[in-house]
Protein backbone atom coordinates (compact mmCIF):
# COMPACT_ATOMS: atom_id res chain seq x y z
CA UNK A 1 0.00 0.00 0.00
CA UNK A 2 2.77 2.47 0.90
CA UNK A 3 4.62 1.60 -2.32
CA UNK A 4 1.52 2.32 -4.39
CA UNK A 5 0.97 5.61 -2.54
CA UNK A 6 4.59 6.66 -3.12
CA UNK A 7 4.30 5.78 -6.82
CA UNK A 8 1.12 7.86 -7.11
CA UNK A 9 2.78 10.76 -5.28
CA UNK A 10 5.74 10.59 -7.66
CA UNK A 11 3.40 10.72 -10.65
CA UNK A 12 1.44 13.64 -9.22
CA UNK A 13 4.62 15.58 -8.41
CA UNK A 14 6.10 14.85 -11.83
CA UNK A 15 2.92 16.01 -13.52
CA UNK A 16 3.03 19.31 -11.63
CA UNK A 17 6.77 19.77 -12.19
CA UNK A 18 6.58 18.94 -15.92
CA UNK A 19 3.64 21.34 -16.37
CA UNK A 20 5.39 24.17 -14.52
CA UNK A 21 9.03 23.73 -15.60
CA UNK A 22 8.72 21.57 -18.71
CA UNK A 23 10.01 18.06 -19.17
CA UNK A 24 13.57 19.18 -19.89
CA UNK A 25 13.51 21.68 -17.04
CA UNK A 26 12.54 19.09 -14.44
CA UNK A 27 15.07 16.79 -12.84
CA UNK A 28 14.46 13.55 -11.00
CA UNK A 29 15.82 15.31 -7.93
CA UNK A 30 13.14 18.03 -8.29
CA UNK A 31 10.44 15.37 -8.33
CA UNK A 32 11.94 13.46 -5.40
CA UNK A 33 12.24 16.66 -3.36
CA UNK A 34 8.58 17.53 -3.92
CA UNK A 35 7.51 14.03 -2.88
CA UNK A 36 9.85 14.06 0.11
CA UNK A 37 11.72 10.94 -0.91
CA UNK A 38 15.21 10.21 -2.11
CA UNK A 39 16.16 9.99 -5.76
CA UNK A 40 16.97 6.30 -5.09
CA UNK A 41 13.38 5.76 -3.92
CA UNK A 42 12.09 7.42 -7.06
CA UNK A 43 14.33 5.19 -9.18
CA UNK A 44 13.03 2.15 -7.31
CA UNK A 45 9.57 2.95 -8.68
CA UNK A 46 10.55 4.22 -12.14
CA UNK A 47 13.53 3.55 -14.40
CA UNK A 48 13.91 7.26 -15.10
CA UNK A 49 12.18 10.39 -16.27
CA UNK A 50 11.06 8.78 -19.54
CA UNK A 51 9.32 5.99 -17.60
CA UNK A 52 7.45 8.58 -15.54
CA UNK A 53 6.45 10.47 -18.68
CA UNK A 54 5.32 7.22 -20.33
CA UNK A 55 3.09 6.37 -17.37
CA UNK A 56 1.68 9.90 -17.14
CA UNK A 57 0.79 9.98 -20.83
CA UNK A 58 -0.37 6.36 -21.24
CA UNK A 59 -4.06 7.05 -20.47
CA UNK A 60 -4.22 9.98 -22.92
CA UNK A 61 -2.46 7.97 -25.63
CA UNK A 62 -4.83 5.03 -25.10
CA UNK A 63 -7.82 7.38 -25.35
CA UNK A 64 -6.43 8.87 -28.55
CA UNK A 65 -6.16 5.36 -30.02
CA UNK A 66 -9.75 4.64 -28.95
CA UNK A 67 -10.90 7.90 -30.52
CA UNK A 68 -9.25 6.97 -33.81
CA UNK A 69 -10.98 3.58 -33.71
CA UNK A 70 -14.30 5.37 -33.24
CA UNK A 71 -13.46 7.77 -36.07
CA UNK A 72 -12.59 4.82 -38.30
CA UNK A 73 -15.98 3.24 -37.65
CA UNK A 74 -17.90 6.42 -38.54
CA UNK A 75 -20.42 6.13 -41.40
CA UNK A 76 -18.80 8.87 -43.49
CA UNK A 77 -16.28 11.73 -43.58
CA UNK A 78 -18.60 14.34 -42.03
CA UNK A 79 -19.50 12.03 -39.14
CA UNK A 80 -15.84 11.09 -38.71
CA UNK A 81 -14.84 14.76 -38.54
CA UNK A 82 -17.57 15.49 -35.96
CA UNK A 83 -16.50 12.53 -33.81
CA UNK A 84 -12.85 13.59 -34.15
CA UNK A 85 -13.49 17.19 -33.08
CA UNK A 86 -15.78 16.32 -30.16
CA UNK A 87 -13.53 13.48 -29.03
CA UNK A 88 -10.36 15.55 -29.24
CA UNK A 89 -11.93 18.37 -27.23
CA UNK A 90 -12.99 15.88 -24.55
CA UNK A 91 -9.57 14.24 -24.50
CA UNK A 92 -7.74 17.57 -24.31
CA UNK A 93 -9.94 18.78 -21.47
CA UNK A 94 -9.64 15.55 -19.51
CA UNK A 95 -5.86 15.41 -19.90
CA UNK A 96 -5.04 19.13 -19.69
CA UNK A 97 -1.85 18.74 -17.72
CA UNK A 98 -0.42 15.91 -19.79
CA UNK A 99 -1.13 17.76 -23.02
CA UNK A 100 0.36 20.93 -21.55
CA UNK A 101 3.55 18.97 -20.88
CA UNK A 102 3.62 17.54 -24.40
CA UNK A 103 2.86 20.86 -26.12
CA UNK A 104 5.30 22.76 -23.90
CA UNK A 105 8.31 20.74 -25.09
CA UNK A 106 6.79 19.34 -28.27
CA UNK A 107 9.79 18.95 -30.60
CA UNK A 108 12.03 17.37 -27.97
CA UNK A 109 9.31 15.25 -26.41
CA UNK A 110 8.25 13.67 -29.67
CA UNK A 111 11.73 12.14 -29.77
CA UNK A 112 11.19 10.48 -26.38
CA UNK A 113 10.35 6.77 -26.67
CA UNK A 114 7.28 7.23 -24.47
CA UNK A 115 5.69 9.61 -26.96
CA UNK A 116 6.69 8.15 -30.32
CA UNK A 117 3.12 6.87 -30.95
CA UNK A 118 1.69 10.37 -30.44
CA UNK A 119 3.03 11.70 -33.74
CA UNK A 120 1.50 8.86 -35.77
CA UNK A 121 -1.83 9.07 -33.92
CA UNK A 122 -2.11 12.84 -34.35
CA UNK A 123 -1.28 12.45 -38.06
CA UNK A 124 -4.25 10.07 -38.36
CA UNK A 125 -6.47 12.54 -36.54
CA UNK A 126 -5.16 15.34 -38.77
CA UNK A 127 -6.05 13.33 -41.88
CA UNK A 128 -9.61 12.90 -40.60
CA UNK A 129 -9.99 16.59 -39.82
CA UNK A 130 -8.45 17.68 -43.12
CA UNK A 131 -10.77 15.48 -45.13
CA UNK A 132 -10.04 14.15 -48.57
CA UNK A 133 -9.70 17.40 -50.52
CA UNK A 134 -5.98 17.70 -49.84
CA UNK A 135 -6.05 21.47 -50.25
CA UNK A 136 -3.69 23.71 -48.34
CA UNK A 137 -6.70 25.27 -46.60
CA UNK A 138 -8.05 21.93 -45.40
CA UNK A 139 -4.66 20.76 -44.12
CA UNK A 140 -3.94 24.08 -42.38
CA UNK A 141 -7.42 24.21 -40.84
CA UNK A 142 -6.88 20.75 -39.38
CA UNK A 143 -3.48 21.74 -37.98
CA UNK A 144 -5.01 24.90 -36.56
CA UNK A 145 -7.65 22.87 -34.73
CA UNK A 146 -5.16 20.30 -33.39
CA UNK A 147 -2.67 22.90 -32.20
CA UNK A 148 -5.16 25.56 -31.16
CA UNK A 149 -7.58 23.57 -29.02
CA UNK A 150 -5.06 22.59 -26.33
CA UNK A 151 -3.56 26.09 -26.30
CA UNK A 152 -6.98 27.66 -25.73
CA UNK A 153 -7.79 25.14 -23.01
CA UNK A 154 -4.64 26.17 -21.09
CA UNK A 155 -5.28 29.89 -21.54
CA UNK A 156 -9.02 30.05 -20.82
CA UNK A 157 -9.53 29.79 -17.12
CA UNK A 158 -12.48 32.18 -17.02
CA UNK A 159 -14.98 29.67 -18.44
CA UNK A 160 -16.49 26.61 -16.81
CA UNK A 161 -15.81 23.30 -18.56
CA UNK A 162 -19.27 23.00 -20.15
CA UNK A 163 -19.06 26.49 -21.70
CA UNK A 164 -15.48 25.92 -22.83
CA UNK A 165 -16.30 22.52 -24.35
CA UNK A 166 -19.28 23.85 -26.32
CA UNK A 167 -17.37 26.90 -27.57
CA UNK A 168 -14.37 24.81 -28.63
CA UNK A 169 -16.49 22.33 -30.55
CA UNK A 170 -18.39 25.14 -32.29
CA UNK A 171 -15.19 27.05 -33.12
CA UNK A 172 -13.43 23.95 -34.44
CA UNK A 173 -16.50 23.12 -36.50
CA UNK A 174 -16.44 26.60 -38.06
CA UNK A 175 -12.73 26.28 -38.82
CA UNK A 176 -13.36 23.00 -40.59
CA UNK A 177 -16.79 23.70 -42.12
CA UNK A 178 -15.59 24.76 -45.54
CA UNK A 179 -13.85 21.44 -45.99
pLDDT in tens, 9-25: 999 999 999 888 888 89
Rounded to two decimals, the pTM is 0.81
Mean pLDDT of the chain: 88
Q: Both 163 and 95 in a single domain?
A: yes
Question: pLDDT tens digits for 51-97?
Answer: 999 899 899 899 999 999 999 999 999 999 999 999 999 999 998 88
* Contact predicate 130/141, CB 8 Å: yes
Query: In this predicted structure, what is the pLDDT of residue 22?
Result: 84
Q: Both 103 and 142 in a single domain?
A: yes
Among 129, 106, 134, smallest CA distance to 175 is for 129
- Residue 41 is part of which domain span? 1-46
In Å, what is the CA distance from 162 to each residue of 90, 119, 158, 176?
A: 10, 28, 12, 21
pLDDT average, residue stretch 127-147? 89
| CA gap 141, 43 in Å, rounded | 43
Q: Both 110 and 148 in a single domain?
A: yes
Q: Both 3 and 79 in a single domain?
A: no
Amino acid sequence: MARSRTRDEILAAASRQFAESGYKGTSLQDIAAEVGCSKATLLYHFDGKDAILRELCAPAIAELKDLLDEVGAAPGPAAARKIAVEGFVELAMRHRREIQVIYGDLPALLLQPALRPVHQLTEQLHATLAGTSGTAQSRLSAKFVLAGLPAVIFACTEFDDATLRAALIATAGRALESL
